[in-house]
Amino acid sequence: MNKNILVIGATSEIGNEVNKLFALQGSRFVLIGRDSIKIEEHKNELLSLGSKDVEGLVDDLVLTENKEGLFNKALIFLNYKIDIVFINYASLENQDLLENRILEAVKNLNTNFVSAAEWSLITGNYFDKSDGKLIFLSSVAAERGRRSNYIYGASKSGMNILIEGLSNRFAYKNSFFVSLKLGVVKTKMSSDIEGLSKLLAVDPSTIAKKIYKIANLKKPKTFYLLPKIWIIIIFLIKLLPNKVLFNIK
């Protein structure tokens, strides 16, 4: 069934694979992001796959003070009905760099938590008037604070709590807020990851099929660990005492 979809972070490799699956069903899109060229390319790609209509809005998702205005523009284009909002963007910076440049760390937290929280709360206010789903691409990094990525993990963890709170806020309504806690996916952002995580990395198209299925559920859960192997891995990681975790980079 075709949907009206707002994509916040329109150049996400994972998100774009999800969009393709919805385009095959004739869904309509508003794509918001900074890169006008990539947005135009993806717009044409979705139209060629069967999307009924695609609009691109070029703006900085983090710095813009006009998030509500952009949301309302998307709402107008989609005939005042948004079925699904995807929040796809994130920034995974070098941990050592962030520790030594506090302003960069704050900037990273603003990207991964503050701005994403703004978009989520704006969506929540819209869902007070119209049913829908918000899907947030989170990370397994949020499950424990590891020395190699704890700033990134903290921002994702904060968003998970926010999504859970919004889910509780709408518990007696027909709107749903979902965090997808993803393991490592083979994208440009994760290209520097090494060790076991790299061996477990999956293709964006593989994870997109799982996201597509969850997004189409009538009543999805508040969070999912994807792929499922990470349910076991995170369970074991949570059992580790700190003195063991401290030795794992």
Q: What is the CATH number of the domain that holds 105?
A: 3.40.50.720
Percent of the chain whose pLDDT exceeds 90: 77
Query: Sorting pLDDT into bands at 50, 70 and 90, what band is 247?
Result: low
Residue bearing the bigger pLDDT, 248 or 205: 205
Which residues, including other chains, have CB under 8 Å from residue 60's CB and lie 6 or more apart?
Answer: 34
Query: Sorting pLDDT into bands at 50, 70 and 90, what band is 59?
Result: very high
How many domains are contained in the chain? 1
Give the model's pLDDT for residue 12.
93
Nearest to 208 by CA among 198, 216, 200: 216
Domain with 180, as residue range(s), is: 4-245
Nearest to 59 by CA among 130, 6, 8, 105: 8
Residue type, 244: V
